[in-house]
Amino acid sequence: MGKKLFIENKYNSFKKTILVDGDKSISIRTLLLGSQAYGNTLIENILLSEDILSSINCLKKLGVKISLNNNKCSIHGKGLNGFKFKKNIILNAGNSGTFARLVLGLLVKSPYYIKLIGDRSLSKRDFARVILPLQKIGATFKVNNKKTLPLQIIGSTFVNPIRYFEKRGSAQCKSTIMLAALNSPGQTVIKAKKSRDHTENIFKHLGIPIIVKKSKYYDEIKIKGQKDIKSFKYEVPSDPSSCAFFVVLTLLSKNCNLKIQNVNVNNSRIGYIKILNKMGAKIKIKNVRTKYGEKQADLYVKSQPTLKKITCPPNLSSNLIDEFLIIFLAAAKASGVSSFSNLGELNKKESPRLKLGSKLLNQLGIKTKLTKDSIKIFGNPTIGLKKTINVKNYYKDHRIFMTSVIAAFTFGGKWKIDDIDSYKSSFPSFLNIVKKLGFKFKIV
Ligand code: S3P
């Protein structure tokens, strides 16, 4: 039997400043673009999580020289489509949906079939969303009917400049097409439902010809390909999605103050802060500066004993897609019934998160009303648990693990959580920060 995390909550109050690990989305994008640049790219404060290590191993298999020295990563790129690899290589993306999807965009000229595989959770996820546009661009795939991993991709010598309508609000789909467009001789045009815009920002920063026209719900992105990319230096800010766990821990604990330094506060990533503030939190974003076209700042959070219910605007879904689980936990402690809709995508993540999030709340004694794409949460601000909660069979979803740990410290009861390494795919310092804030747990 695998090890379990045991938590029996003792009340704890803290006043601390913390630094959270580097942003996962930006770490993956800088790696991919560094691999397409000419010369030595240096990425500082890169996230050293399992998803990133899988990404680095895949790029090495594609012939890119990469070295890691603590959180400094240097990449020796050989320019656009400069991969050098043998026939029959297999890329293992592990748990990383972002890397697995985005790297396909850079393989549209591959002269041989390349096999892409992933872990059990990634092998259940949908790849049709990137296969379809990449086929239009010129790639050919060998894949099962469900369009899941493992798959094989082979490219073509001509990369079609396409027009594509991305309707899901998926930054991964949008970015995959944008990366493929780098190799196209013409202009690729994407109309994309709003989602995180790190790929756009880094393209602009690197001088790649890109025009972005923003409107309320959709952006129009035009890219001209085949422009050389110069090597670059990038310092990755902290991941706002990882911060969200400690933001909610602080809000739901008593007499706590937390400062989180140097956080990526890109508008497309801080929907959860806006929602929590609407629920009555007073999270402050201070000392905002812009670096590499991305906003960074420090977050200030204080305990908030009385949170109010929220009706989450459906158009915000892709803006806080990775934070819903922890927001659900805040809603479970808020007064009144909170509603979240337009959440079909949430069941397509590392686990069926909408279903499992609801199940976790039910285990806590919180009533929910669940449909295939929405949830109502009947909050209970005075809940205090005495029972034992077992968290298992959750596809090792890192965000379910971390949400469970925060629930254990804020709802009481005795907790036994399986698959204790799951958090390492996105946030390897998570348990160290938990300890630093004075919380106790045992691994048995
Ligand atoms: C990501 C986009 C989101 C998000 C994922 C990271 C990215 O996925 O859930 O954790 O870095 O582009 P979708 O694009 O599938 O919504």
Write out pLDDT tens, residues 242-281: 999 999 999 999 999 999 999 999 999 999 999 999 999 9
| Nearest ligand 1 atom, CA 321 | 9
pLDDT for position 253: 96
- Taking alpha carbons only, the member of 310, 309, 324 closest to residue 272 is 324
Domain boundary, last residue among 171, 201, 235 = 235
Residues 352 and 375 in one domain: yes
Task: Identify whether residues 177 and 246 lie together within a single domain.
Answer: no
Q: What is the pLDDT of residue 12?
A: 86
Confidence tier at 1 by pLDDT (50, 70, 90): low
pLDDT at 428 over 70: yes
What percent of the chain lies above the pLDDT cut of 70?
100
Q: What would the DSSP string read from start to end of 309-350?
A: --B--GGGGGGSTTTHHHHHHHHHTSBSEEEE---GGGGGSS
* Overall average pLDDT of the 405-430 stretch: 97
Q: Which domain holds residue 166?
A: 24-235
Q: How do strand 151-154 and strand 114-117 relate by DSSP bridges? A: antiparallel
Q: How far is the CA of 420 from the centre of ligand 1 (A)?
A: 23
* pLDDT score, position 259: 98
Tell whether 267 and 170 lie within a shared domain.
Answer: no
Give the Cα separation of 46 and 49 in Å (integer). Answer: 9
170 lines ligand 1 (CB under 6 A): yes
CA dist., res. 131 & res. 139, Å (int): 8
Do 325 and 410 belong together in one domain? Answer: yes
CB count within 10 Å of CB 81 equals 16
349 & 371 share domain: yes
Q: State how many domains the chain has.
A: 2
pLDDT band at 305 (very low <50, low <70, confident <90, very high): confident
Write phi, then psi, for 6 (nearest 5 degrees).
-105, 130
37 alpha carbon to ligand 1 midpoint, in Å? Answer: 23
| Closest ligand 1 atom number to CA of residue 129 | 15
> How high does pLDDT run on average in the chain?
97
Tokens of 13: 């109050």
Determine the average pLDDT of the residues in 128-151.
Answer: 98
Whole-angstrom distance, CA of residue 420 vs CA of residue 72: 27
241 CB within 6 A, ligand 1? no
- What CATH number does residue 369 fall under? 3.65.10.10
Render pLDDT for 68-122 as a digit per residue (tens, 0 to 9).
999 999 999 999 999 999 999 999 999 999 999 999 999 999 999 999 999 999 9
Judge if 152 and 251 occupy the same domain. no
CA 293/CA 265 separation, integer angstroms: 11
Ligand 1, residue 29: give the atom nearest the CA.
Answer: 11
Q: Is pLDDT of 11 > 80?
A: no
pTM of the model: 0.98
